[in-house]
Structure 1
């Protein structure tokens, strides 16, 4: 069965890996990609998306640029986390023959109206575009087949403030509007929320990159080792593997700098696997409140699992996942795609 996905992202290293994973799946039809500011500006996100689509031979997928900033607060980006272009040390040639269109919000609405009940919305970015689309088309929760969101931290330490996860912290007002739009709908229509307590379990390590290189058929897999000098570039023989290795090396170094180990939490890859139907997981329904006021708790997400607020649920929060199975699936699929692409794509070697 084909899974038709509208992907809204802020590419972003883990967004890039999630996008490549979706492109590797024959059962997934990527209907469109909407670009939201977060890790980098919306224009840079769109350039990254177009370049990755070109690298993977999928230039026919429409890409649109979304809102330039969050709904009510200034935009903050993360060059220290994902690099100034959002893809770490990776270098991609400018996309040729395709440009990003304006109006990601209209893309959202047009795609869903043309395909009622058929599309899964996957959002691995701040929820800005989704919130703006809901303002113009309040029926989106009923018109979408499913919604999968990467965001939030529920009774779990945040990765941006002590209590807030990055995506909800960037645009808490948008997150609050999106969750409010689903309150009271049947459980099967509630967003599936992949929050930090499960996405931080998807810990990608250097051995995974070496395995990916082997799956792709690289003659001399480039190992990403902790003792290598910062910024060392991959020499893998397959261009897609070089790009992913160089991007992930930056992410490894970032996590090590903050004493989390030489690893990368690839949050968005798990959300992509949920949207594609390739990951096992369990959920708990809850009413989610997003703190929108200024101050130390801005962007904090609080769940009511027991109905103590007297409100109906507005989300299904993932409570369990299987990281080894996720990596078996994702690395095998991306490796097969890289093997099919081979060395035909032009990416600079340093």
Structure 2
């Protein structure tokens, strides 16, 4: 059983990732840490996690609130782009948008009395060599943990990180993926630690070449037949609009499951084909390339580079992943 800390920014697929990790027989979810990102401010991000765990009946899992802003960041207007993106959808989707990233109600569960960075440090150092860090949003919390306590690098088992793009165009600029762009300084800190890392880019998630791994209405129909547990009912109620947006606005065949793929790789790395370990760096300069992921694949004349410890996912066994997701989520019904 893989022991993980899951660090999220509570976008739609983060919700599915929390539910997946909380019920998977292959995972021991040591805690969930939160970071400001695509879903909005840290209070919204954290409340979504608390409400999701309450729905799952997993109030025993600690939740630690983390970074409310990136280490450096971009302009205020640019950082709010994911929130303003929703306003662009109103004319097309109307009232259906009420199910898309709604304001989280006041949760019944509470966060622990410890910052996410301290929770990461204490948990990793308390079980050296046993904890896998899974980050599905900006990497701010993990970067601050490395900067605060360098001992956690050697103590981590591995990292599985969602971010970057190498073949597929970026989703925030043509060259940059959101998680990296939102805090590129943090991503550079994390990828320079020399920790064994799996990096999950847009190439294997938000590209129709990975269509078999995307959630469709057919998958929701399969889950509808599985029972009426509150988690399964929520999926039927909330996720059709996610599928519609990614089909109609982004021209994908379904809703990409980036975060859930990342979690699943923590215990089954064979779900993806990966590169050999190499160094991946981040562009920090202002402009269109800020946040671009750069892989050191060859031999360059100018000096540079860093630890060759990152394997980049290049393909995904989409059908096997989607079956794994559905087989795992329906465990909520049997657990009830």
Give the TM-score of the pair, scaled to structure 1.
0.83
Q: Contact (CA 8 Å) 2:12, 2:101: kept in 1 or not?
A: no
Quote the residue 1:69 is aligned against: 69
Q: Distance in 2 between matches of 1:325 and 1:276?
A: 14
Matched, 1:110 2:136: no
Quote the residue 1:51 is aligned against: 51
Q: Contact (CA 8 Å) 2:216, 2:253: kept in 1 or not?
A: yes
Quote the residue 2:162 is aligned against: 150
Matched, 1:130 2:129: no
Q: Contact (CA 8 Å) 2:9, 2:37: kept in 1 or not?
A: yes
Q: Distance in 1 between matches of 2:99 and 2:34?
A: 14
Quote the residue 2:268 is aligned against: 277
Q: 1:174 to 1:259 in 2, by over 3 A?
A: closer
The alpha carbon displacement at 1:23 in A equals 1.2
Q: Deviations over 1:296-347 (max 9, x none)?
A: 1111111111243663424111122200000001111101224433xxxxxx
Quote the residue 1:226 is aligned against: none
Quote the residue 1:318 is aligned against: 313
Q: Distance in 2 between matches of 1:208 and 1:280?
A: 19
Q: Which runs of 5+ in 1 are unaligned?
A: 183-188, 218-236, 342-350
**What's the secondary structure of 1:26's corresponding residue?**
coil
The alpha carbon displacement at 1:165 in A equals 0.6
Quote the residue 2:178 is aligned against: 166
Aligned length: 314
The alpha carbon displacement at 1:151 in A equals 0.4
Q: Distance in 2 between matches of 1:97 and 1:127?
A: 25
Matched, 1:305 2:297: yes
Q: Distance in 2 between matches of 1:16 and 1:46?
A: 11
**What's the secondary structure of 1:265's corresponding residue?**
coil
**What's the secondary structure of 2:274's corresponding residue?**
strand
The alpha carbon displacement at 1:246 in A equals 3.4
Quote the residue 2:92 is aligned against: none
**What's the secondary structure of 1:181's corresponding residue?**
coil
Greater CA drift, 54-63 or 240-249: 240-249
Q: Which runs of 5+ in 2 are unaligned?
A: 88-96
Q: 1:313 to 1:97 in 2, by over 3 A?
A: closer
Q: 1:261 to 1:197 in 2, by over 3 A?
A: closer
The alpha carbon displacement at 1:147 in A equals 0.6
The alpha carbon displacement at 1:155 in A equals 3.3
Q: Contact (CA 8 Å) 2:168, 2:202: kept in 1 or not?
A: yes
Q: Distance in 2 between matches of 1:86 and 1:177?
A: 37
Matched, 1:31 2:30: yes
The alpha carbon displacement at 1:24 in A equals 1.6
Quote the residue 2:279 is aligned against: 287
Give the TM-score of the pair, scaled to structure 2.
0.86
Q: Deviations over 1:139-168 (max 9, x none)?
A: 222101111000000133111111111100
The alpha carbon displacement at 1:291 in A equals 0.9
The alpha carbon displacement at 1:203 in A equals 1.6
The equivalent position to 2:323 in structure 1, one of 315, 328, 339, is: 328
Give RMSD over aligned pairs.
2.5
Q: Deviations over 1:243-298 (max 9, x none)?
A: 22333223223223424146211111100110133752222122212111111111
User: Quick check: which one's helix share is greater?
Assistant: 2
